[in-house]
Structure 1
Amino acid sequence: MPQPLPSKESSLFRQVVKFYESKQYKKGLKSADQILKKHPNHGDTQAMKALILNSQGHGEEAFALGKLALKNDMKSHVCWHVYGLLWRSVKNYEEAVKAYKFALRIEPESQNILRDLALLQCQIRDFEGYIESRQKILNARPQLRQNWTGLAIAYHLAGNYKQAEHILVTYEETLKQAPSKTDLEHSEAVLYKNTIIAESGDTERALNHLQEIMKANLDKTAVLELKAKYLLQLDRKEEAAKTYRALLARNSEYRVYYNGLEKALDLDRSNDESIPKLQALYEEFASKNERNDAARRIPLDFLKGDAFKTAADQYLRRKLNKGVPSTFPNIKALYADAEKKAIIEDLVLGYASEKSLNGSAEGKAHEETSSQFEDSVLYFLAQHYTYVRSRNLEKAMEYIERLIEKNPKSVDYNQIKARIWKHYGDTQKAADTINHARELDLKDRYINTKCAKYQLRNNENEKALDTMSKFTRNETVGGPLGDLHDMQCMWYLLEDGEAYMRQNNIGLALKRFTAVADIFEVWQEDQFDFHSFSLRKGQIRAYIDMIRWQDHLRDHPFFTRAALSAIKLYMRLYDNPDLAKGSSVDLANLEPAERKKALKKIQKEQEKVKKAEADRKAAAAAKATAKGDDGEVKKEDTDPKGEKLLETKEPLEVAMRFLTPLLELSPRHIEGQDLGFQVHLRRGKPLLALKCLQAAKQLDPTHPSVHENAILLRHHLNNLKEPLPTPVAESLKESFTEPPSSASSTSALQTLNDDFIKTHASSGSVAHLQTAYDTRYRLDAATKSQNEDDLLKTLDLDAISLKEAADGLELLKGWKSDAKVLDKYREKAAAKWEVATVFAKE
C-alpha cells in the first residue's frame, strides 16, 4: 500500500497529478517539492516528480529518482506504474511490461495500469498478453462498447477469427434497443465484423451478412466494394459486374473498378477474342462522360497494331489539343512495349511535321488552339527524347530550345532543359538551369524543391539549404535544417546525406541517414496513441490497416535507400578506422613522419571546426529560445556534425540496425543481400554470409555480385586462422558447393575468375567485367596494375553507360590507384562524355 499522507499533503499530491496531466510541469515540481520538504521519503511523490522530470528531458535524474521511490515504497502501485512509464519513454518495452505487471499485482483493479499494459502489449505484438489484459478491462467495465471492440481486435490480431466475431455478436445481443442509423461507431463495428468473417474464409456468410447491413451502413462505397469482391470470389460474376458498374457510376476514374469489371465479364486481355469486347466496354464508358480519362487511357494498355494506333492518335490529339502538361507522364508506361513506343513516336512526329497544326482529328480548331497544339507537341517530344526508353538528348535539347525561344519565362520548359543537362551528366548546368526556372516563379514550392534537389546532386549542400529556407520556418531551433527534420522531409535528408557521402564527409552523411532511420522509429512510436484513439473514435478498419502497415514499415524505399548508404559507410569505417579521425586517406599505410603530419593537420582542422561551432552555439543562445506548443523548450542537437557517430568502436554492430530490417522486410533487394554478405563476412559469420549469397542467387543467378561473393566466401574459408565449429563447418560443406571446396588455393579461384572474365568479355557486359576485376584485385592486390589497364579498356566498349563509367572511377579509388591512373581514366571518360562533371579533376 502507498505511504499515507496528511490531508494537506494529500491535497497537494492530487494537484501534482493534475499538473502533470495538464503539462504544467513547473507547478507540478513546486507542489512535489512542498510535500517532499515534510516527507522526504514519500515514494509516490518522488515517483510523480520523476515522471515530471522525465517529461522535461531530465531522463537520468528521473530514473535515479524513480529507483529511489521504489526503494522507499516497494509496495506502491504508483511507484511501479511510474517506473514502467519511465522505461516506456526510453523504448525498453520489456522492462516496462514487467513494471506494469508488478503494479497490477499490488492494484489488480487499476484501469489506468491495465490500459497502459494492454497498449504496450499491442505495441510489441504480444497478442496473447493483449487478450488477457483486454479481457480484464472488459470485465471491469462491460458497459462500454470500445472495451468489447478492443477484445475483439485482440483476438483478431492473434488470428482467432471465431472468438473475435463471437465477442462482437455477444455485445450486439446485450443491446436493449437498436443503435441510431447515424451511429458511426456502430456502422464501423458491424462492417468490421463483416471483414472478420471474410478473413476467416467464409465468403458466403460474409456476403449474406453484408446484405443484411448494407442498407443501414453509412459507408456505402466500402459496402459496394466488399460486395463486388465477395461476388467475384464466389464466381457470381453477373451480380459482381452489376456491382462494379454501380461503383464506376460513383467513381469512373478508378482503375481497380475497371479491373474488377473485366474479371466479372470474363474478359482476358491476353486473349485476342476478348479485345473487341473490351474495346466496346471502354467506348461505352467513354461515351457516357466527355471528361472521363480512364476509359480512354486504359484501352491503350491492351490494344495492338492498327487498333492501338487509332486509339493512341485520338487520345494524344485530344490531350495535346487541350495542352495537358501531364500527357507524356500519363502514357510513358506504354514504352515498355517497343512496338507501341515506335507508333507513339511516329504519331507525334507526324503532328510536328503537319503544315497546318489544326489541333484536332476533325481539323476545326481555331488559330489559338493550333498554337497551343504545336507547343504541346514540341513539349511532348522534348520529354519523349529525355525519357530513358527513348533517349536522344540532342533531339530533346533541340525541341526544348524551340519552346524556350517562344516562351523563355516558362517554368516547365526550363525544368525539362535542366533534366536534359542532368542526363548529360552536367550537374552544374542542370542546377543552374533549374535555379533559373525557380527564379521565374518564386512562389512555386514544387520548382523550389526540385531546385534544391538538383543543387544537392551537384554537391551544393549550403546552397540547397538556402533554397529550401524559402519555404521553411527558419525561426525554429536549428533553423531551416531543424524545420526540415521536424517536418520529416526524408527526400531532402537522403539527398543531403548522399551529397556528403560523395564529398567523403562521413560524419554528416551518417547523421542524415541516421535521421531517416530515426523518423521510421518515430512512425513506429506514433502508432502507440492510436491503440486507444481508434477505439474511442470507432475507426477500427483503418486501425487494423495501420497495424498491418506498421508490421512492414521498414520496407519503404526511403528506409532502404538510407540503409544501403549507411551500411556502406559503416563498412568503410570498419575497413579504415582512420576515417573516424576526419581523414579521407588510409593513415595506416603512410610513413611515420607523413602520418604524424597528417594527424596534426586533421587536429588543427577539428579545432577550427569546434571553435566555429562554439561561436555558433553562443550566438544561438543569445537569441530567444524556441518552444513547442506545450511550452516545453526544444533540445538543440548536441552532435550537429555527426562526430559521435564516427567515434563508434563497433561500426559493424551499428550497421546491423540498418541491415536487419533491410534483410527481413526487403529480402528481394539484391543490393541489400550483397551488403548483408559483406557485413556478415567481416563479422566472421560465414553461415549468415552464405544465407545472403544464396538469397541473391535465387533472385538473380547472373548478377555480378553473386560471382564475386561466391569467390570471396571460398577464399575466406580457405584462409581461416582458426577452424570453424564442427556444426558450422558441416553446414557450410553441405550447402556451399560452388565454387567447390576443391578450389582450395588462390590460384584456383583466380582461374575461375579468369574464366568469368573471358565469358563476359565477349558479351561486353561492363558491370560483370568491373566486378571480375575487383574480385581479381581482392584475391591478389599485386594484380592492381593489370586491373587498372583492363578497367581503362572498358571505356572503349559501346555498351558502357555513364553510370558504369563513374562506377569504374570509384573502383580505382577503392584500389588506391595513384593520381596518374585516375587522371588518365578521367581524361578518357571525359572525352566520351564531354559535359559530365563526374569526371572533372578533383
Structure 2
Amino acid sequence: MSDIPAARVLPSKESTLFKELLSLYETRQLKKGLKTADQILKKFPKHGETTCMKGLVLTHMGRREEGVELVRKGVQLDLSSHICWHVYGLIHKGEKNYREALKCYTQALRYDKENLNILRDAAQLQTQLRIYDGLVETRYTLLKIRPAMRQHWVALAVAYHLNGNLTEAKKVLEHYESTLKNVPDYDVEHSETTLYHVRLLEDLGEFTEALAMLDVNAKSRAIVDRTAIMEIRARLLAKLGSNEAEHAWRVLVEHNPDCYEYYRGYLSNLGLSLDTTDPSAPQALTVLAEFATQLPRATAPRRLALTIASGSSDDFRALVTPYLLSGLRKGVPSLFSDVKGLYKEEAKQRVIEEVVLAARDTFSVEPPSSSTVSTDVEPTSYLWTLYFLAQHHSYLGRHAQALEVLETALSHTPTLPELHMFKGRVLKRAGDPLGGARCLEDARFLDGQDRFLNTKSAKYRLRGGMVEEASALLGLFTKKDAPSPGADLEDMQSLFYLVEEADAHNRNGNFGPALKKYMAVNKVFDDFEDDQYDFHGYSLRKFTVNIYLNLLTWEDRLRSHPAYVKAALSATRIFVAVHDDPSIGTAATGNGGQLTSAQKKAKQKAKKAAQKLQEDAKKLAAASHTNNDDKGLELSPKDDDPDGTKLLTCTDPLERAANLLKPLTTLAETNIEVWVAMYDVAVRRKKYLQASKSLARAAALDAQHPELHVRRIEFRQTVTSLPEPPQAVGPILAESLSKLLQDEVSLEAFNSQYLQRHATSAPAILAVAKAMVKLQAPRDQVEDTLFTALEAQVTLDIKTALAILAFLGTIKSPREDEFRTRCDEKFVLATVFKSAAELAELRQLAITAPQAVPDKVEDIP
C-alpha cells in the first residue's frame, strides 16, 4: 500500500462504488455508471481513475469529445495508474489509432506487468501493427502467467511463426501436445492444432515427420477434416517423391473431379506441365483424355486439355468440337467466358469460329423432322449459338458483326435478358455508352424484380454519365429509410458502385464528388484492415489457426485489389491537378467560378443527403436518451463535407496522394501507372531522387511507354532548371538522369526520334504532342502532330481519341471541333463524339421506358 499514491486511495464506501462503476461499464449500464462516477467525484474531484472511467462512459453515450477530454485529464491526475493508461488506450483503440493505443498499453504494463486484460489487448495490437518481435514477448508473458490455458500455447507458437522462427514454434507445439491428456475423438480444436503442427513441419521441410504425424492422427481420428488430410498427404508424398503420390492425387481427383488444382498436382507429380510449349504436353493430353473417359461428367479434364493442345493441330479441333457442342446444346450462358482464355492463340480463335459457325448452320434448320437435325438438339441451341457468336465477334473487335448476330437472335427470342445485356456491352465497347444504357434498360424491364439486372442497368447509366438517373434505379433495391441510395451502398461497402460513380463524376468534371467517392473506396479498405482486429483474439480462442494465418497473408496484400488501385490512381491524378491548378478547388466551392448545372445538382443533392443524415442522427440520439435499456448508443459521425469541396481545397493534396500510393509500391509494383503517379507526386514535392527512382522502375517495366516518354522530358527540364541540385543527392541524381535520357541528345531530337519509332501508335503520338507543348513548340505543329492519329496506318481506339480531344481542349485549339467531327466519321457506331444537343437527345432516349413491355412470352407476336 505504501507504493500507492495517496490521491488514488479511496475510503471503503467510495472504493466499493468504484468497483461497482467498473462492473456497470462492463455490463454497459452506462447511465448508472455515470451516476456512480459522479458520486465519487463529488467527494474526490481529483481522483484520476474515476475521472478516466467517467470519460470512457461518456464516449459510449455519444458524448465523445467531452469524454476524451475527461480521460486526458484523468491521466494527468494519475500518471502511474495502469487503469488510467488502459482507459486512454481504449479511447485510442476506439478511434482506430492503434499505435498510440499500444503506447498507452505499454505504459499501463509498466505499473501492472501481469494484467491479463492489458496483455491480451497489447498482443492483439502488436499483431494488428505487425510488430511480431514484441508479440512474442507478450505471448510468452501470458503463457507464464496462465500456463494451463491451451490457447496461450498455441498463441505463442503462432507468434513465433509470424516472427519467422518456425523452429521455436514447433518446439512450443511439441511441448503443448505432450501435456494433453484424454483428448476426445473428433475434437475440432485439437484437429485444427494438429493440422497447424503438420503445416509447420511442412514449412520447415521436414516432410517425412509431417507425413508420419498426419497419418497417425488421421488413423486415430484426431483430425476431422478428411479433405485436408487427403490434400496434405498428396502434397507431402509428392515432395518426398513417393510412389504412393500418384494414387493420392488420383483419389483427390475422384473426390472432386472439377477441381483444376488436383489435376495440376497429379500432372506435376508425373513431371508433366500444362504449358503448351512444354515438350511433355502430348503426354499430359493423354493423361487428361484418360480422366475424361473415366469421369464423363467432369468438365475440368476436357477444359484443361483445350489449354494444352496446340491450335494448329487436329487434336485441338477434335477436343474443342464436342466441348463447344455440348455447351451449346445445354444452353450454357457462360460458355464463351469459359473458353475465351484460349483466344491468346489465333489458330484456336479460327477453329472455335469454324466450329460454332457450323453448329449455327446445323441448329438453324427449321423442320424438326429433318434428318439433318439430331433428336437431342433443344430448340434453344440455335439461340445460345448466336449468343456465343456475338460474344466471339465483339471480343475480337468486330462490333458491327456482333450487332448483326444479336439482331437475328433478338428477332428469334426478344424476351431473353442476356441478349439485351450483351447488346448493351457491344455498344459500350463500340463507343456508344448511352445506347448501351438503353439496351440494359430494355433488359431490366423484362424482369423488374431482378436485382442483378437493376444493378447492371444502373452501372451502364453511370458509364453514360447519368448519375442522378442511376441513383433513381439503385433506390429501387436499397433501404427506403437511408439518406440516399448512394449512402446505403456506401454503408454496404459496394466497391463497384463507389468506383463507377466516382468515374462518372470524374468524366463529368465534378471533381469534388469524384474525389469524395474515391476516398470512400480508401475508407472501405481501411475498414477491411480494422475488421481483422477482432480475429486476432477470436481465431486463437477457436483454434482456427490455419485459416487465421491465411487471413493475415490476405490482409497484407489487401490493397493490391483492382478497385483500390484504380481509386488510388484516379484520386492521385485529381490531387496533382488541384496542386497544379488551385482554381479547380476554388471553382468547386462556388467562390472562384461558375458551377455547371451538373455540379449544382450534385452539390444540392449531397447537402440534402447530409441534412437527412443529421436529422436521423438527432432522432436516434433522442430515442437513446429515453430508452430504458440503458445501453447507450454510438452515433455515426456527421459528414461535414458531403460534396467533397473540402477535399479539393485541402492544404496537403500531395501528401494525401503519397499516402494513397505508398502501399502500391510493394503491392502493385508491376503496374507502370503506379510508378508514373509516384513520379508525378514526388517531383512536385521536390523529392527528386524518389522521382528518378520511380522513372527507373517504370522504365524497367516498359521503356517505351508513352507516359514515361513525357516524364523523361519533363524531368530533364525540371532538374536542369534547378539553381543548385542538393549536395547530398546531386551526383546520384545526375547519374540516374543520364540513364533515363542521354545528355548528348537534345530534348527536341529525343522527342522526334520517339515519334519516328512509334509513328503508328496513337498513344505515342499523343505523348509526343504533350512533350511538344512542354518544349514550347508552336500550337499549329502540335495540332498537326495530333491529327496524324487519324491517318489510316495509325491504330487509334476510342479511348485514345477521347484523350486527344481532351488535350486539344486543354491547349485551347480552334481545331477541336474538327477533330471531333472526323472521329465521329471514323467510328461509325460511336456516339461519344456527337454534339452536345445530340447527346442530350440520346441521354433522354436511354432512360425512357420501352413502349410496350411483354409480361409473358405468349404476348410476343
Length-normalised TM-score, structure 2: 0.90
Matched with 2:526 is 521
Matched with 1:797 is 792
Aligned match for 2:778, one of 780, 783, 788: 783
Matched with 1:729 is 730
The alignment status of 1:98 with 2:94, answered yes or no, reads no
Matched with 1:813 is 809
Q: CA deviation at 1:832?
A: 1.0
Matched with 1:418 is 424
Are the counterparts in 2 of residues 357 and 370 from structure 1 also a CA contact under 8 Å? no
Which is further off, 668-677 or 608-617? 608-617
Aligned match for 2:463, one of 457, 465, 472: 457
Aligned match for 2:823, one of 805, 821, 829: 829
Distance in 2 between residues matched to 1:380 and 1:163, nearest whole Å? 57
Write the deviation string for residues 696-740 of structure 1: whole angstroms up to 9, x where unpaired: 1111122222322222211111111x3122221111223332455
Distance in 2 between residues matched to 1:507 and 1:9, nearest whole Å? 55
Aligned match for 2:307, one of 301, 309, 318: 301
Matched with 1:599 is 592
Matched with 1:587 is none
Q: Percent identity?
A: 36
Does the residue aligned with 1:252 lie in a helix, a strand or coil?
coil
Are the counterparts in 2 of residues 358 and 365 from structure 1 also a CA contact under 8 Å? no
Distance in 2 between residues matched to 1:779 and 1:698, nearest whole Å? 25
Matched with 1:129 is 134
Are the counterparts in 2 of residues 320 and 376 from structure 1 also a CA contact under 8 Å? yes
Q: CA deviation at 1:546?
A: 0.9
Aligned match for 1:750, one of 735, 748, 751: 748
Which is further off, 46-55 or 377-386? 46-55
Aligned match for 1:439, one of 445, 467, 475: 445
CA shift in 2, pair 1:108/1:384, >3 Å? same
Tell which has more relative contact order, 1 or 2 (C-alpha 8 A, sep 6+).
Answer: 2
Aligned match for 2:563, one of 536, 558, 573: 558
User: Pairwise mapping of residues 462-611 of structure 1 onto structure 2 (< 5 A)?
Assistant: 462-476=468-482, 478-582=483-587, 599=592, 601=594
Q: CA deviation at 1:772?
A: 1.2
Are the counterparts in 1 of residues 365 and 373 from structure 2 also a CA contact under 8 Å? no
Are the counterparts in 2 of residues 358 and 370 from structure 1 also a CA contact under 8 Å? no
Q: Which amino acid aligns with 2:53?
A: M
Write the deviation string for residues 519-544 of structure 1: whole angstroms up to 9, x where unpaired: 11111111111110001111000111
Distance in 1 between residues matched to 2:808 and 2:603, nearest whole Å? 33
Q: CA deviation at 1:74?
A: 2.0
Q: CA deviation at 1:245?
A: 0.9
Aligned match for 1:347, one of 331, 344, 355: 355
Q: CA deviation at 1:835?
A: 3.9
Are the counterparts in 2 of residues 552 and 665 from structure 1 also a CA contact under 8 Å? yes
Distance in 2 between residues matched to 1:333 and 1:192, nearest whole Å? 36
Are the counterparts in 2 of residues 501 and 509 from structure 1 also a CA contact under 8 Å? yes
Q: CA deviation at 1:268?
A: 3.7
Matched with 1:708 is 710
CA shift in 2, pair 1:634/1:277, >3 Å? same
Which is further off, 85-94 or 598-607? 598-607
CA shift in 2, pair 1:804/1:272, >3 Å? closer
Distance in 2 between residues matched to 1:603 and 1:702, nearest whole Å? 39
The alignment status of 1:197 with 2:201, answered yes or no, reads yes
Are the counterparts in 2 of residues 663 and 673 from structure 1 also a CA contact under 8 Å? yes
The alignment status of 1:20 with 2:45, answered yes or no, reads no
Distance in 1 between residues matched to 2:606 and 2:510, nearest whole Å? 17
Are the counterparts in 1 of residues 24 and 30 from structure 2 also a CA contact under 8 Å? yes
Distance in 2 between residues matched to 1:453 and 1:93, nearest whole Å? 37
Are the counterparts in 2 of residues 472 and 484 from structure 1 also a CA contact under 8 Å? yes
Matched with 2:434 is 428
Aligned match for 1:184, one of 185, 188, 193: 188
Q: CA deviation at 1:677?
A: 1.1
Aligned match for 2:320, one of 308, 312, 322: 312
Write the deviation string for residues 308-358 of structure 1: whole angstroms up to 9, x where unpaired: 111111111111111111111111111111101100001111112236489
Distance in 2 between residues matched to 1:605 and 1:313, nearest whole Å? 53
Write the deviation string for residues 262-291 of structure 1: whole angstroms up to 9, x where unpaired: 111233454787455433432333334443
Distance in 2 between residues matched to 1:433 and 1:608, nearest whole Å? 26
Write the deviation string for residues 787-837 of structure 1: whole angstroms up to 9, x where unpaired: 12221221223421111111211222333x24x322111111111123423
Distance in 2 between residues matched to 1:84 and 1:623, nearest whole Å? 31
CA shift in 2, pair 1:682/1:273, >3 Å? closer
CA shift in 2, pair 1:364/1:295, >3 Å? farther
Aligned match for 2:835, one of 833, 836, 841: 841
Matched with 2:86 is 81
Write the deviation string for residues 525-576 of structure 1: whole angstroms up to 9, x where unpaired: 1111111000111100011111111112111111101001000000100010
Does the residue aligned with 1:648 lie in a helix, a strand or coil?
coil
Distance in 1 between residues matched to 2:38 and 2:368, nearest whole Å? 81
The alignment status of 1:226 with 2:227, answered yes or no, reads no
Are the counterparts in 2 of residues 321 and 359 from structure 1 also a CA contact under 8 Å? no
Q: CA deviation at 1:623?
A: 5.7
CA shift in 2, pair 1:412/1:265, >3 Å? same
Write the deviation string for residues 567-593 of structure 1: whole angstroms up to 9, x where unpaired: 000010001001111259xxxxxxxxx
Matched with 1:638 is 640
Aligned match for 1:386, one of 386, 389, 394: 394
Matched with 2:375 is 366
Distance in 2 between residues matched to 1:577 and 1:203, nearest whole Å? 62
Q: Which amino acid aligns with 1:750?
A: E
CA shift in 2, pair 1:457/1:27, >3 Å? farther
Structure 2, unaligned runs of 5 or more: 625-630, 837-861
Q: CA deviation at 1:689?
A: 0.8
Write the deviation string for residues 49-81 of structure 1: whole angstroms up to 9, x where unpaired: 222233345443233211210122222211011
Distance in 2 between residues matched to 1:64 and 1:92, nearest whole Å? 16
CA shift in 2, pair 1:489/1:268, >3 Å? closer
The alignment status of 1:254 with 2:269, answered yes or no, reads no
Distance in 2 between residues matched to 1:484 and 1:500, nearest whole Å? 17
Matched with 1:689 is 691
Q: CA deviation at 1:408?
A: 1.4
Distance in 1 between residues matched to 2:607 and 2:534, nearest whole Å? 39
Q: CA deviation at 1:6?
A: 4.1
Which is further off, 283-292 or 227-236? 283-292
Does the residue aligned with 2:796 lie in a helix, a strand or coil?
coil
Are the counterparts in 1 of residues 60 and 632 from structure 2 also a CA contact under 8 Å? no
Does the residue aligned with 2:815 lie in a helix, a strand or coil?
helix
Does the residue aligned with 2:577 lie in a helix, a strand or coil?
helix
Matched with 2:241 is 235
Matched with 1:769 is 765
Write the deviation string for residues 154-190 of structure 1: whole angstroms up to 9, x where unpaired: 1110011111111111111122x24111211111111
Q: Which amino acid aligns with 1:412?
A: E
Aligned match for 1:210, one of 211, 214, 229: 214
Q: Which amino acid aligns with 1:371?
A: P
CA shift in 2, pair 1:654/1:613, >3 Å? closer
Q: CA deviation at 1:42?
A: 2.1
User: Pairwise mapping of residues 30-179 of structure 1 onto structure 2 (< 5 A)?
Assistant: 30-175=35-180, 177-179=181-183
Q: CA deviation at 1:363?
A: 6.8
Distance in 1 between residues matched to 2:610 and 2:662, nearest whole Å? 37
Q: CA deviation at 1:41?
A: 2.0
